Chains A and B, each alone.
Chain A
């Protein structure tokens, strides 16, 4: 993996366009890929919604992208060390916000519906994701053992577990699940001794029935059951996946062309501009379009992980990896469900699905990864 260690950002496709010193220090591969992906996404949103009552969504999406880019730049230029210094207070504020929601916010804390239409208002849980990652990174900054200690694992469990529990109580399992990659990435990167693997596996096996019988709502159980046995609900997600597969499959190798997708446009495909937007890509741009998109995502992840490796401190590495894990998780789950490889969930496609909250969150995450890169040399302001 020596090519990943290569920090010669000067050779990327976007580097030559910018001459200023500040910008030349930014990883333009990552920045450019993020904006390119968002641009392709907005084209897909346009195609999916151009006809009918959702036509105004394209304009809104452009606004969200603009807001996202601004947020990204802000989070690039505030030194992440500074953010780490105030990570604990930020995290506490986030927890208090969640607590406030639980007590007072019944009306806004609604359970995500089957078809995720993209919440226009920003949910505190999105902020808390960022705060949690910051605190995880801060924790590992001072931790230099090759493997996680029990103490360190418990601390990690508290940092990630508390917000997860509070979001589960809301109850919003979908959002709570998006914290899983953070915990996973942190634990994996921190290192686990074999005996902890065994203990962890045992705990998971014991916890599964408790969660199943104690915590899961009937509709959530139903969703798991439907994944195992799609015949249970052919009208609901079974139908959705079926239509999604028809859309993607009928796209063939080269696709039907821009705005020529019939499956998606005729409203056969629910949530076509949000969770199932990848199916629109598959139908209109075919296998070629799918490959291009997957390549872009892979390039993005590669760049981000390279930044993680070249970070100047452990905190920077953990920050970048945890944030990248968000992208990886969302991409795999979302793309996987398009053709029924994974169960249908309300997980949006990063930087592409319509929706302000996730757009903002992923741009901020991108900004923080750029931030780690920008300050990889100790002498940078």
Chain B
């Protein structure tokens, strides 16, 4: 019944070709197996009997972290790590059931840990390949190393590896920028195949964000060991040299950072300080106080130590500069003033009358000064921080225009600084109330927003970025902490890569409007009766704004048993200098600090004096003179590449 077609013969021929190709391939396979299983059988049987192929990770040295002048912020220290070879262990435990309990007892005696903790650390490695060493403890002392080596005959699965541990020589200084190290989690091990169980990886800050750059590439070698774990030979063929990680230079200036942190510590203040270079967005200091000691965090610690850290009421691991959300208070009046001028709602001479209070939408809003400020224009309103002036301005602008303008200055969104966990904050608007709150926006709320209260929430870094835009004439830069990286080019020669400033966007600012705001800010610091007088530096035109906020909402800080403290006002001081051709922005925030002028402003003075020290003691004259400017040294460290 079969119907043969014309081409059937061809088709059959092709199938035959396919068949013989398969036969040929099978013959190749069979002879390869013959070679491995018959010719080389003995060699592989030896390897199998010894169960002896051990692969050893040769760890790459992690890159250093240095400040902009090349001073070390994070380095490596030689250290000894106790590892467990689980393939060895399973062999030993098969021979002798008491082996594991004895090993646990031995390790706990040597390390001074309890047996449960040792068992927990061994259990943790269950899911990892048995051929890879499992880290049990780091930073062994020399006597401990000796004890382990002596015990190796009984416990061949134990072995001591020479590694490097991370050391932060300045302890808490710049801790929130640097971050710390921690053991790679199961999820990270999955996501990043280059990591091994027990590896330390960056957990926070620069250590996390630039982990790949800092890490380098681990090397490896295969060694053949006998049943006592003694090395018989090395398999050079499969070895690979480790590649060390890149050194990273930060924009941070250690001197400024240290001075700022000391100020917080000496005055027992909780808060944050951000110092920016308004010309390029470089972060010269970023303080969150109180700070942790990354040296303690970066060790594998017992659960008790963890509990102590977690129970700290100050939530020290929160980086307040980028994660603390606060009402901006009067500092927001700068934004209001710029918005009013730019959108043509007011001009420099527009006056509002302050009688100590005023009614809006059927509600009475009071100025902080009960007696009133009389008729004031923007410049004066900024100087005396008149609330009524800004109530009127807010009512004229409306919340949506305030919100749009705020977003231009990176409020309500991340500044995209190269640190992890930055919070966007909150800028309310009618659509926000409708979409997020499922309610109507009340016009009276706009009046609160106009003086930086209400639902408005900002981070200190956002305020600093806003001040930078005022200081440099409207350029909003991406703030960044990475200054330079040292990498090896294709030829293996070290090369320094410098981060170029990145302009997020440019806001058009009318020179006259800008001048009015800047003069107002200058008067806050430099005129009699100004609230920022404590930031005054003789010889430098500091411009700034204080702010005092009633506690409305904040993250990362709850201390219910201390109500009076809790309800104490927060203090802001946002500033830059010099008034024209600005070189530095300093923003300080003190939680429950009372008044911005008294608590925060003095630190600004200290920092300006540090940065502009040469100009102050050298010529003594105003730095606005062209000659003085020309000869003045750069305030922010050596040019790229000169770091040691």
Contacts and interface: CB of A to CB of B under 8 A. Distances in A.
A294 B19 contact: no
Given A235-B220, A239-B55, A250 B33 contact: no
Interface in A235-255: 235-236, 238-239, 242-243, 245-253
A4 B19 contact: yes
A248 B240 contact: no
B6 A248 contact: no
Interface in A272-311: 282, 286-287, 290-291, 294, 297-298, 301-302, 305, 308-310
A196 interface: no
Contacts of A8: none
B244 to A, nearest CB: 18
A164 interface: no
A239 B222 CA distance: 9
A188 interface: yes
Contacts of B12: 1, 5, 309
A107 B48 CA distance: 40
Nearest to A267: B130
Contact of B37 (A249, A270, A317, A335): A249
B41 interface: yes
B436 interface: no
Interface string A195-220: 00000000000000000000000010
Counting chain A residues whose Cβ lies within 8 A of the other chain, the interface size class is: 35 or more
A298 B22 contact: yes
A238 B30 contact: no
A336 B29 contact: yes
B51 interface: yes
Contacts of B18: 185, 188-189, 305, 321
A378 interface: yes
Nearest to B10: A146
B5 interface: yes
B87 A266 contact: yes
Given A246-B47, A294-B29, A301 B38 contact: no
B239 A231 contact: yes
Contacts, number: 164
B44 interface: yes
Interface string B99-142: 00000000000000000000000000000011110000000000
Interface string B238-268: 1110000000000000000000000000000
B236 to A, nearest CB: 9
A70 interface: no
Contacts of B26: 294, 297-298
B53 interface: yes
B565 interface: no
Given A231-B237, A267-B130, A336-B29, A287 B38 contact: yes
A46 B190 CA distance: 28
Contacts of A5: 12
A249 B38 CA distance: 8
A230 interface: yes
Contacts of B240: 231-232, 234
B1 A377 contact: yes
B626 interface: no
Contact of A248 (B25, B33, B131, B239): B33
Contacts of A243: 53, 131
Interface string A337-381: 001010000000000000000000000000000000000111100
A111 B162 CA distance: 36
B16 A1 contact: yes
B514 to A, nearest CB: 48
Interface string B12-44: 101111110011011011101110111011011
22 contacts: A1-B12, A145-B7, A185-B18, A188-B14, A191-B14, A231-B240, A234-B238, A234-B240, A235-B132, A242-B53, A242-B238, A243-B131, A245-B36, A252-B37, A267-B130, A286-B37, A287-B37, A310-B2, A332-B25, A339-B33, A376-B2, A377-B2
Query: Which 8 residue pairs of A and B lie closest in terms of their CB atoms, listed nearest first?
Result: A249-B44, A250-B48, A234-B238, A287-B37, A1-B16, A252-B41, A250-B45, A250-B44
Given A230-B238, A250-B48, 5 more contacts: A145-B7, A189-B18, A268-B87, A291-B33, A321-B18
